[in-house]
Structures are given as C-alpha cells and as structure tokens.
Amino acid sequence: MNNQILELNDVWISFDNKKTYILKDINFGLSKWEVMSIIGVNWSWKTTLLKVIAWIYKNSLWKIKRNYKRLSYVPQKIDIDKTFPIRVNEFIQIYNDKINQKELLWYFKKFDSEKLIDKNISALSGGELQKVLIISALISKPDIILLDEPTSWIDIIWEDIFYELVGDIKKIFPHISIILISHNINLVYKNSDKVVCLHKDNFCCHWTPKEINDNIEVKKIFWDYVLPYEHTHHNKHIH
C-alpha cells in the first residue's frame, strides 16, 4: 500500500513566465505520519516551496499529487494590533467557528496550555503565540500541517519546547504528517524522518537525516553547522 500523501514530481518554479526558475527539478514525497524538515541557506526559497505545497502559489508547471483531505498552514509570523482586545479563545474561534468551549479546552489541555485560553492575544510571548497558532491549525483536523520557520521568532528555550511540541503532536495525533522549515540543523536531524535540503537556485537533495548528514555536498553548504547525527524516533502508535 502506498502511504504517500503528498508527491512532488518534476516541479519547476517560475514567477516570470518560464524565463527563469527559482527552484528546479524537485522530486520528493511525504508519507503518512512523517516529520519532514526543509533546510537551506538564506534565499534558497524555502518559504516559497512551502507555499507551493500549501497551494497558496498556483501554477500549471507544479506537478503535485495531493492524496489528503485537509492541510493546515501556519505562517512564519502574524502581525497583531497590540491595542485590539481579543482573547485567545476568541481569536481561535475566528478560524474555527464551529468549535465549542469544551472541545477548545480539550485541545489546550492536551498541550498543558489551559492558562493561555483567557489571555489577551497581544500579551502572549513569541513561543506562546506560536503554540496557539499550531493548536488552532490542529483544530481543523488536518492530515498535513505546514510550519513556516516556527522557531524564528522565539528564544532558545522555546525552541526546545517547540520540538517537544512536535513530539506531542505525533503522540496525540499520530496520523498527522508535518512539514516544517528550520535553521537549527542539530534539532532537525534529531526530530525529522526526512530532510529536504535547498540551495540557491537549485534543489539539492531529499533523504533521511543520516543520509543528509553524510552527504558531502550538504557539508559544503553548511560547513560547521552540520553536526553529528542523532535521531529521535516518533512512535506513531502512541495515543
């Protein structure tokens, strides 16, 4: 049985009517339950690739098979008017209007975050806001969740907490697949099943963390940022 719920086949990305291509010949698949990380140097079009997968950017050249029912996308950052008095539960109901308070509490309890429900959204720390956005995305019951650089606006302590959150998602919702963009290579290797590595103007590779870590071309790109490989397995059978 084919567990691939997302397949990119010979994807070339252009925004100027095929005069130039920012990414070329992209081929990879995402299986059910997998955590996939996208890494790359600055200006390697990581967010663009994620938005192509999310169908935010659309083009006939992008040959993508979507074998899932629902996808949730969490952007890198959202701008919130600090003067607007809206609580977390009210904010979430804007995007999930059918959820009741009992269900909402269930989701927050699963991530030990009940204390956030009644906080003003503008009073949240960067890490707390990121958790609220992810919980909001999970409420829509996606098969795939896309996280665009979820640790870019949080400190190093919250970065570790974020990867604990990824582990919690896999335990609570074992059917969900995750694609995320990250700059922390060591944490990527420890917490990912597959890694997509992008380089300027070209697709680089798509392998397991160990294969990426052992690849000479990746080492040339990342130099000292390529750290010893250590993988944390996600048990998809834990509920």
DSSP the chain: ---EEEEEEEEEE-SSTTS--SEEEEEEEEETT-EEEEEE-TTS-HHHHHHHHTTSS--TT--EEE--S-EEEE-S-----TTS--BHHHHHHHH-TT--HHHHHHHHHHTT-GGGTTSBGGG--HHHHHHHHHHHHHHT--SEEEESSTTTTS-HHHHHHHHHHHHHHHHH-TT-EEEEE-S-HHHHHHH-SEEEEEETTEEEEEE-HHHHHH-HHHHHHHGGG-PPP--PPP-TT--
Provide the CATH number for the domain around residue 179. Answer: 3.40.50.300
Q: Is residue 157 in some structural domain?
A: yes
Q: Model pTM?
A: 0.87
Report yes or no on 66 lying in a domain: yes
Domain extent at residue 191: 4-76+143-225
- What pLDDT, on the 0 to 100 scale, is given for residue 3? 84
Residue 155 has a pLDDT of 67
Evaluate whether residue 107 is within a structural domain.
no
What pLDDT is attached to residue 161? 82
The model's pLDDT over 13-28, given as tens digits with 9 standing for 90+, comes to 888 888 888 888 899 9
Q: How many domains does the chain have?
A: 1
Q: Is the pLDDT of residue 204 over 90?
A: no
With respect to residue 181, please indicate whether it lies within any of the assigned structural domains.
Answer: yes
Residue 138 falls inside a structural domain: no
Assess whether pLDDT exceeds 70 at residue 61. no
38 vs 76: which has the higher pLDDT: 38
pLDDT in tens, 63-119: 899 999 999 999 887 777 777 889 999 999 998 989 999 999 999 999 999 999 999
